[in-house]
A and B are shown apart, each in its own frame.
Chain A
């Protein structure tokens, strides 16, 4: 029929037109201020000098203050489109960051036991900033791992990506914050830093710069305060500095958003979570059923996702009974497979998710060495774009916090009133997350912000 042909043609109109039309319903939807998903991380790279005995008489002085990009409302699609157009990010950059996520994620998450929440995006930003200060072999190794051709491209793409991802509205927030802490002197002699590095850090990495004395315990306190301020108080680590340090790069990611389809609190019920060691735990589970949603059933896992109001999504991967989540995290290829591969199906999806929150802490130096970063940790490292003094990276650590609960918007401009129970389901999936599972939080552009594994409610 000819009208069907018109109908089919309309179904394939440009995605931009579909995106633009999402906004008409915005005024009809009620929003809630309580958070649905919160996650934050801090990552610290310390760069040390081989010289000791610093004086303890300095104070903290900001060198350059960052002006963050203009924030826009979660449903301001015009501004969102404009920011995207003005700050293009190459497909290869998104791909490189996700490849980095799979490589590092596998190494970090497959080891040991317990809950882990890792932010590949945060580590990528911190290493990218360090890379812009590196030269020769040190720079090459870092660029190889980050999958970028040169420091200039890395800086430009990082800046554009930053502006694309930055969110700060009444519904949610995605804020990557960087800071550079520079030691001001060694043995009474001032340490000179390169202006070009500071300028680039401010322009493309939105990094605040501080001039400090690392031998002074107040410096550690100031760093802890900066972290707390940039993670909305979710992280307040005690930082201990030492006199050998000349530079610390601190990166934080603070993220919160709301489910498009919130969970009904009345349906949150206690039930049993089955641990890998055969033990059981009684915890609260959030419950809901989506009338028709996407899912993928593979030979060893089932995957489905829940939409977030600011355009991202949280993906859950539930290993089949008898399959260890660690098997699914055993290599970069495996992580890529569980997040990206598989046939998508549609139908009723029954959700049962533990309410959870936990902290993670990672020491990342050895993992990065395993991935080919050798020179940066070597006393002969070349960071001459930062300083002419001999400097190398002494430690890299990441701390994270994640929390999920029922809250979210009751309905959204995008999907929810149409999704729930509106049709006879064609397929069916059960996302009964009552045994260890894997999750990821994905930004609207497809970049993995967090990857995690949840194995033990007792932690």
Chain B
């Protein structure tokens, strides 16, 4: 039986992680899921801080290219900041959970997260990204 390389690579090689990724994003579309993930709306509103303000002559950036840029930006961060950002916006951890995990008060962590979002915004602006 001929099976495409991509398909073989995905199952069972990455089956578990792919399941999880889809699962999180489906959850965030449900009300209970949003509640579980400390407020999908809240997550989204926080991410408004990252939206670059300037317009450029370039057209809208494709999602894939934007993901690439965000990955590049994450790789410039200190490890702890990088993990915090991914835990908050990929895994959907609450600020309270994260603060407790790294031994910080939630308000201090919230400030740190705000600085990270601003940093991402600056980075995207520097890259002349338009959304």
Report which A residues bind B (CB closer than 8 A): 1-15, 17-21, 23-25, 27-28, 91, 94-95, 292-294, 305, 307, 313, 315, 333, 336-337, 339-341, 344, 346, 414-415, 418-419, 422-424, 426, 442, 445-446
* B22 and A346 within 8 A (CB): yes
Given A313-B16, A337-B1, A422-B36: A18 touches B44 (CB 8 Å cut-off): no
**B83 at the binding interface (Cβ < 8 Å):** yes
Most buried by A among B19, B22, B36: B19
* B36 and A423 within 8 A (CB): yes
CB distance from B47 to the nearest CB of A (A): 4
Residue of B whose beta carbon sits closest to that of A1: B44
Q: A305-B15, A423-B26 are in contact. List 19 more A-B contacts (CB 8 A).
A: A3-B47, A5-B63, A11-B21, A11-B24, A14-B71, A15-B14, A17-B82, A18-B21, A20-B82, A21-B82, A25-B101, A292-B23, A305-B16, A336-B1, A340-B12, A344-B11, A346-B19, A418-B91, A422-B36
Please report whether the interface of chain B is mostly helix, strand, loop or mixed according to DSSP. Answer: helix
* B3 and A340 within 8 A (CB): yes
**B74 at the binding interface (Cβ < 8 Å):** yes
* B16 and A20 within 8 A (CB): no
CB distance from A24 to the nearest CB of B (A): 5
**B8 at the binding interface (Cβ < 8 Å):** yes
Residue of A whose beta carbon sits closest to that of B36: A422
6 contacts between A and B (CB under 8 A): A2-B51, A6-B70, A9-B67, A24-B83, A340-B11, A418-B91
**B45 at the binding interface (Cβ < 8 Å):** yes
> B58-111: which have CB < 8 Å to A?
63-64, 66-67, 69-71, 74-75, 79, 82-84, 86-87, 89-92, 98, 101-102
Q: Which residues of A contact B23 (CB under 8 A)?
A: 292-294, 346, 419
CA gap between A310 and B22 in the complex, in Å: 22
Residues of B in contact (CB 8 Å), total 57
* A423 and B27 within 8 A (CB): yes
* B8 and A307 within 8 A (CB): no
* A339 and B12 within 8 A (CB): yes
Q: Which residues of A contact B92 (CB under 8 A)?
A: 418
* B27 and A422 within 8 A (CB): yes
Given A17-B86, A24-B101, A340-B12: A8 touches B63 (CB 8 Å cut-off): yes
Residue of B whose beta carbon sits closest to that of A426: B26
**Contact residue among B13, B74, B131 (Cβ-Cβ distance under 8 Å from A17):** B74
* B33 and A422 within 8 A (CB): yes
CB distance from B87 to the nearest CB of A (A): 5
CA gap between A294 and B67 in the complex, in Å: 25
Q: Which residues of B contact A305 (CB under 8 A)?
A: 12, 15-16
CA gap between A14 and B67 in the complex, in Å: 8
* A446 and B32 within 8 A (CB): no
* A446 and B12 within 8 A (CB): yes
**Contact residue among A13, A94, A346 (Cβ-Cβ distance under 8 Å from B13):** A94
CA gap between A11 and B17 in the complex, in Å: 12
Q: Which residues of A contact B12 (CB under 8 A)?
A: 305, 313, 315, 339-340, 442, 446
CA gap between A293 and B23 in the complex, in Å: 8
Q: Which residues of A contact B43 (CB under 8 A)?
A: 7
CA gap between A414 and B87 in the complex, in Å: 11
CB distance from B31 to the nearest CB of A (A): 8
* B44 and A3 within 8 A (CB): yes
Given A9-B70, A305-B15, A340-B12: A21 touches B26 (CB 8 Å cut-off): no
* A10 and B90 within 8 A (CB): yes
* A10 and B44 within 8 A (CB): no
CB distance from B43 to the nearest CB of A (A): 7
Most buried by B among A12, A21, A339: A21
A-B residue pairs, 4 tightest by C-beta? A294-B19, A446-B13, A21-B86, A9-B66
**B56 at the binding interface (Cβ < 8 Å):** no
Most buried by B among A1, A6, A19, A25: A6
Q: Which residues of A contact B18 (CB under 8 A)?
A: 344
CA gap between A19 and B12 in the complex, in Å: 17
